[in-house]
Structure 1
Amino acid sequence: MKIKMNIKLAIMALVLTTSCSDLIDPAIENIQSKDMIRERPGMVQGLLLNAYLRIPTNGYNFSEMATDDAVSNDLDNAYLNMATGQWASNFNPVDRWNAANSSIQYLNEMLTEVGNTEYASNPQVNQMFLDRLTGETYALRALFMYYLLQAHGGMAGGELLGVPIFLEPQSVDSDFNMPRATFDDCMAQLYSDLNIAIDLLPMDYYNIGDASMIPSKYQEGGTGVNDYNRVFGDDAKQLVSGRIARAIRAQAALLAASPSFNLDNDQAKWADAATYAGELLNDIGGISGLDPNGVTWYNNRSIIDGLGAGINPPEILWRGSIGGPSNNLETQNYPPTLYGEGLVNPTQNLVDAFPMANGYPITDPAAGYSPAAPYADRDPRLAQFILLNGSTAGPTGVNINTALDSDTNDGLNKVETSTRTGYYMRKLLRQDVNLDPVATTGQRHLQPRMRYTEFFLIYAEAANEAWGPMASGGFSFSAYDVIKAIRQRAGIGLDSGDPYLESIKGDQDAMRQLIRNERRLELSFEGFRFWDLRRWGANLTETAQGMRIQNEDDYSVIDVENRVYQDYMIYGPVPYSEMLKFSTLQQNAGW
């Protein structure tokens, strides 16, 4: 009791000696004014960091589950609901309006503030920091414009529209009720931003060893090697560079040239896309720059585990942080016997898109395809990207049985984490991850924002449209050359010389279909298919199918999930909430 009384007296004394204002007035909030931010360069750069953190390719979203390439075994999955008829302006799992516009707001604020802060006492070093930060900002603003146009550009009132263009930071006094600019005006702004970025940024960030390598505009100010490396050296790797700005330009140009956004089939737009991609490829040696290990970039263990800070393997143009060992992707997508949730189930549609090893589509009479042995003599990428019945997987090489009569939960529709199609995703996953609860291990994972294979495919698609399969438009390689190299790398037609490719090399239409199919395979499960189908104006309603296997050799194709899309859905909606708030916004037709 005496101890309790002493505690009470101590508390009373503390209260009596504390001022009333301390008890009643709120504490000073940790909110930085602009004046305070300007005195702290790291705080100013935080505006830029907010945009980096919102880049959609910082992680995988598996929008393929809303296409003909995959389904989800989670029946509450947003992409499943979207693909089966619930996509609406107030239910949009692929919405980018708010995140991208928030990023642009931060970037516009950055452009306003970037010149008001001192980053180094040396004026020349300070100018280099200012140039780099400004260049990064313009490039990122263009990147988010690209994502907005991809997700929300479309036909409204008989005109192809983009999004409202905001070039100044908005405040509570700003007029938010801005109309959508035309798609072409948005593209012009995107190109303008990228031109500024390319002018300000070095092609790549790395430490130089000789003053002769310093750009003349900085040499004239007396910049030394150490000063240059402080700003543009190794520590800046993975920030937006001139190379990345050029890559954004190629991506955006392909979108603008595509049928859904190039209503007059302007061949100059195709030529622009081919030229921008071709220039990037020229810088890595053209066809010779295609990484021979690029097919299995996600599982090249010694390369990934040996990567130093900021270093990219040859296949990766831009990536996020590798981080420490993890097993999140495997937990989500390993089959049940490997203690995974089996979320992404590739479709029979995608399996059928892989050709035979001789290069012929499985529907071609010359293919040699047998429905009784559907996985025999196929494109090697099929087994590398998709876990087939009878495949081994995981760190101990467990045999995966996906048959209807499987004696494990890996079988078709056995439990809620089982496959619905007869397939599991293998691509992206490291097979040396162990999810066994008594011996769980993780591994390092590459998270690419851009791979060079994408830009080889951009070039092939655009060059074929602009100049035909065999012409090169001034480059040393054609669409045919690129596709031949990609297929050879994959192991197609090595013994036969790829006769199918040779048979269509003079046919622009047939080459177009082959290029699109190669893009489907090479970029599978990386978030491209959903957007590609729409920019091509392709069929969105192909039923997702699977494979039912019984008695070891009885194969039958089954319908798994209908795709319920309308024709107008090649364009995404403006969010319903925005339409309610702003009278000048026009909704895309049909929404």
Structure 2
Amino acid sequence: MKLINNILAIALSAFSLVGCDSFLEDEIEFTSEEEVVTSESRSRGIINDIYTDYSFDEFTRDFNADYLTDNAVRRSGETNNTNLNWRPTSSHPYDNIWAKSYDNIRRVYEYIDLVHATGLPYFPSEAMSDESDNIVRRYYGEAFFLKAWAEWELLKIYGGPDADGNMLGFPIVNGILEDEDYNSLSRNTYDECVDQILEDLQVAIDNLPLDYTSTDIGFSSTETGRASGLAAYALKAKVALFAASPAFNPDNDITKWELAAEYAHDMIEINGGLKTLQAINNSRENNPDHLWRLRDFRTDNSLEKSLYPPTLYGQGNINPSQNLVDVFPDSRGYPISDAASSFDALTPYASRDIRFYKSIFYNADQCYNQETCDNYGSLEIFTGGEDNFGGFIGDIGTRTGYYLKKFLNDLDFDPSATDNPLTTNFRVYVQLGLTEVYLGYAEAVIEAYGQAETAPAGLNYSARDALARVRLRAGLFSDPYLTSIQSDVNLFKELLKNERRIELCFTGERFHDLRRWKEINNIENIKGTKITKEEDGSFTYEEIDVEERAYEEKNYYLPLPYSELLLNTNLKQNQGW
């Protein structure tokens, strides 16, 4: 009875969800246990409800994670997270992952035991039995993908060595446990956790469609956003990449890099080969590069209100660093520090990589996604300007000289508007994307085989091939810099890491990349720019210090939550905490 009551509580919340033109649109409420486990399609709301844990809140969490890197600072000031005054007993961006992940694993098994295992059909009509069976099978695959995703988050956040140097993951759970059983579990080894995730993903692959492009009921584009076979393949590659990385592969077992390359290669091949990436568009609903992505509501401008500069009616809450701005190359792909670069310190924002213009609001910017146009009035981030501190809005202003543009919709920038205009554009937040698969493949190949120009035996693409596709989307149809460094392994690795930083900024990935590469303790302090407008209308730029970063080697790993250690004395804390 206790178990049935648990599932009833879950179902009640699931069936009251109101989604955005998606599979999450459920407005039915149930009041009896019997109905929950005998109501065909409606009982699948148990799985639908898990998706809501991976929704709009991910923006905030991942933005907070970038504050822990050299990419950005928070406009309102330094926090305990950024000056490293956090401990297992205090808050950090991932302090709820342990509880949330195990809760979702429990819900997966409640669905399997109480709904799937009973043979409950999706459609009651005998005439639709084939369609019903296909959808039931799809939900089973979704359940295992969501379980694997919860396990992946546990491993990504909490994986690390104990005091004796044993590389540990999380306690593996394959069923529903009572509290007393759960609180007696021990952490499995890191490799055992990897194997468990891969096993669950294989079940997902065996039961899910590759994508949602069919016209069949339950497999059309209206289901986009659900777990798919392609998403499962992509997650396999990502799990393997982390497992091969220095922080979790201290002996540099090359076979782990080879496996990561193989899994990424499998995903690329199953997707039809090394395809050209689609143009960057965070409001495109049917972008095939988005292998698994989250949804945000339409007719909502909360992100714009939070992030736009003051004269565009925003609060400017996220301030990208000068450090990040400096890694965007010039328009021909050369690092701005390279002798062949066209970069000019007197006009630092001219002729830069097109991704810069899509990602960062800068002084004198007046174009939403390219270098020149007049979408809105020229931003005044210079000292005394309207977009500087205390200008258009009192007590609001950037600490670095920049505001974040990435992810935002292009609204009606009307300076006479009395309120922020609303957007009815869709908003997509990618959790697993083709760009990341290409970058992961290039990294695994260069680490496993030590060269970038030639495809290794058994694989169809070189590391250069994959990286070139990513840079091609940035408009680098001719890429002389990539060509010039492709035979130098160290320079190629440096460029690859730089491309990851650009492509994945403000997705939370840099924090984890720095940890897995064992480089987080070497990152630079945060820099910004002070801009002065001269009498002739030109600008001068002075680099300024904004925030310090002072990581230690223990920060390669994150601490297990202190509350969990109190509940379960069998759990071993990560080394250094």
Coarse TM-score class (shorter-chain normalised): 0.7 to 0.9
Task: Return the offset for 1:172.
Answer: 4.5
The equivalent of 1:529 in structure 2 is 510
Please tell me whether Structure 1 or Structure 2 has the larger radius of gyration of its CA atoms.
Answer: 1
1:443 paired with 2:445, answer no
Please tell me whether the aligned partners of residues 297 and 315 of structure 1 are also in contact (alpha carbons under 8 angstroms). no
The equivalent of 1:142 in structure 2 is 148
- Residue identity matched to 1:529: R
1:189-588 pair list within 5 angstroms: 189-208=196-215, 229-291=216-278, 293=279, 296-298=280-282, 304=284, 307=285, 312-321=286-295, 323-393=297-367, 396-409=375-388, 415-434=394-413, 436-438=417-419, 440-444=421-425, 445-467=427-449, 468-473=451-456, 474-492=458-476, 494=477, 497-540=478-521, 541-550=523-532, 551=534, 552-588=538-574
Task: Return the offset for 1:164.
Answer: 0.6
Q: Distance in 2 between matches of 1:39 and 1:199?
A: 26
| Residues 57 and 183 (structure 1), Cα distance of their counterparts in 2 relative to 1, 3 Å cut | farther
Please tell me whether the aligned partners of residues 259 and 535 of structure 1 are also in contact (alpha carbons under 8 angstroms). yes
| Residues 539 and 239 (structure 1), Cα distance of their counterparts in 2 relative to 1, 3 Å cut | closer
Q: Distance in 2 between matches of 1:246 and 1:407?
A: 48
The equivalent of 1:71 in structure 2 is 73
SS of the residue corresponding to residue 59 of structure 1 reads helix
Q: Distance in 1 between matches of 2:302 and 2:87?
A: 30
- Residue identity matched to 1:427: K
Q: How many residues are aligned here?
A: 523
1:87 paired with 2:73, answer no
Structure 1, gaps ≥5 residues long: 1-28, 209-228
Task: Return the offset for 1:430.
Answer: 1.8
Task: Return the offset for 1:501.
Answer: 1.4
Q: Distance in 1 between matches of 2:392 and 2:517?
A: 33
Q: Distance in 1 between matches of 2:178 and 2:41?
A: 23
SS of the residue corresponding to residue 449 of structure 1 reads strand
Structure 2, gaps ≥5 residues long: 1-28, 369-373
Q: Distance in 1 between matches of 2:397 and 2:573?
A: 40
The equivalent of 1:221 in structure 2 is none
Please tell me whether the aligned partners of residues 313 and 420 of structure 2 are also in contact (alpha carbons under 8 angstroms). no
Q: Distance in 2 between matches of 1:440 and 1:131?
A: 43
| Residues 158 and 58 (structure 1), Cα distance of their counterparts in 2 relative to 1, 3 Å cut | same
Task: Return the offset for 1:533.
Answer: 1.0
1:19-30 pair list within 5 angstroms: none
Please tell me whether the aligned partners of residues 389 and 395 of structure 2 are also in contact (alpha carbons under 8 angstroms). no
Please tell me whether the aligned partners of residues 387 and 423 of structure 1 are also in contact (alpha carbons under 8 angstroms). yes
Q: Distance in 1 between matches of 2:220 and 2:392?
A: 53
| Residues 408 and 234 (structure 1), Cα distance of their counterparts in 2 relative to 1, 3 Å cut | closer
Please tell me whether the aligned partners of residues 89 and 575 of structure 1 are also in contact (alpha carbons under 8 angstroms). yes
Task: Return the offset for 1:289.
Answer: 3.4
Please tell me whether the aligned partners of residues 58 and 447 of structure 1 are also in contact (alpha carbons under 8 angstroms). no
Q: Distance in 2 between matches of 1:384 and 1:30?
A: 46
Query: 1:479-511 deviations in whole A, cap 9, x for unaligned?
Result: 11122232232124x5xx433212211122211
Out of 117, 120, 125, the position equivalent to 1:115 is: 117
Query: 1:144-203 deviations in whole A, cap 9, x for unaligned?
Result: 111111111111031110011111112345342211111100011111111111112222
Query: 1:74-99 deviations in whole A, cap 9, x for unaligned?
Result: 237xxx32011222112222221111
| Residues 171 and 434 (structure 1), Cα distance of their counterparts in 2 relative to 1, 3 Å cut | farther
- Residue identity matched to 1:253: A
Q: Distance in 1 between matches of 2:454 and 2:253?
A: 18
Query: 1:363-412 deviations in whole A, cap 9, x for unaligned?
Result: 22232433222223322222221111110157951210111232554689
Query: 1:403-435 deviations in whole A, cap 9, x for unaligned?
Result: 123255468998532100001111111222458
Task: Return the offset for 1:278.
Answer: 2.0
Identity of aligned residues (%): 34
- Residue identity matched to 2:202: N
**RMSD (Å), alpha carbons:** 2.5
Task: Return the offset for 1:538.
Answer: 0.9
| Residues 57 and 471 (structure 1), Cα distance of their counterparts in 2 relative to 1, 3 Å cut | farther
Q: Distance in 1 between matches of 2:99 and 2:222?
A: 31
SS of the residue corresponding to residue 287 of structure 1 reads coil
Q: Distance in 2 between matches of 1:101 and 1:288?
A: 37
Out of 128, 132, 136, the position equivalent to 1:130 is: 136
Please identify which structure carries the higher helix content: 1
- Residue identity matched to 1:588: N
Please tell me whether the aligned partners of residues 320 and 448 of structure 1 are also in contact (alpha carbons under 8 angstroms). yes
Please tell me whether the aligned partners of residues 412 and 422 of structure 1 are also in contact (alpha carbons under 8 angstroms). no
Query: 1:450-488 deviations in whole A, cap 9, x for unaligned?
Result: 222111111111122122212323343211112223223
Please tell me whether the aligned partners of residues 528 and 543 of structure 2 are also in contact (alpha carbons under 8 angstroms). yes
| Residues 439 and 567 (structure 1), Cα distance of their counterparts in 2 relative to 1, 3 Å cut | closer
Q: Distance in 1 between matches of 2:388 and 2:249?
A: 48
Task: Return the offset for 1:101.
Answer: 1.2
Q: Distance in 2 between matches of 1:199 and 1:391?
A: 49
Task: Return the offset for 1:250.
Answer: 1.4
| Residues 191 and 315 (structure 1), Cα distance of their counterparts in 2 relative to 1, 3 Å cut | closer
Please tell me whether the aligned partners of residues 335 and 410 of structure 1 are also in contact (alpha carbons under 8 angstroms). no
Q: Distance in 1 between matches of 2:486 and 2:392?
A: 43
SS of the residue corresponding to residue 46 of structure 2 reads helix
Please tell me whether the aligned partners of residues 520 and 556 of structure 2 are also in contact (alpha carbons under 8 angstroms). no
Shifted more, 413-422 versus 424-433: the winner is 413-422
The equivalent of 1:26 in structure 2 is none
Task: Return the offset for 1:553.
Answer: 2.7
Q: Distance in 2 between matches of 1:154 and 1:413?
A: 47
The equivalent of 1:22 in structure 2 is none
SS of the residue corresponding to residue 86 of structure 1 reads coil
Shifted more, 504-513 versus 50-59: the winner is 50-59
Task: Return the offset for 1:272.
Answer: 1.8
Please tell me whether the aligned partners of residues 412 and 421 of structure 1 are also in contact (alpha carbons under 8 angstroms). no
1:161-172 pair list within 5 angstroms: 161-172=168-179
Please tell me whether the aligned partners of residues 390 and 400 of structure 1 are also in contact (alpha carbons under 8 angstroms). yes
TM-score by length of 1: 0.83
| Residues 409 and 548 (structure 1), Cα distance of their counterparts in 2 relative to 1, 3 Å cut | closer
SS of the residue corresponding to residue 486 of structure 1 reads helix
- Residue identity matched to 1:150: K
SS of the residue corresponding to residue 93 of structure 1 reads coil
SS of the residue corresponding to residue 541 of structure 2 reads strand
SS of the residue corresponding to residue 81 of structure 1 reads coil
Task: Return the offset for 1:333.
Answer: 0.4
Please tell me whether the aligned partners of residues 278 and 459 of structure 1 are also in contact (alpha carbons under 8 angstroms). yes
Shifted more, 403-412 versus 266-275: the winner is 403-412
| Residues 399 and 173 (structure 1), Cα distance of their counterparts in 2 relative to 1, 3 Å cut | same
1:105 paired with 2:106, answer yes
| Residues 498 and 235 (structure 1), Cα distance of their counterparts in 2 relative to 1, 3 Å cut | closer
- Residue identity matched to 1:560: V
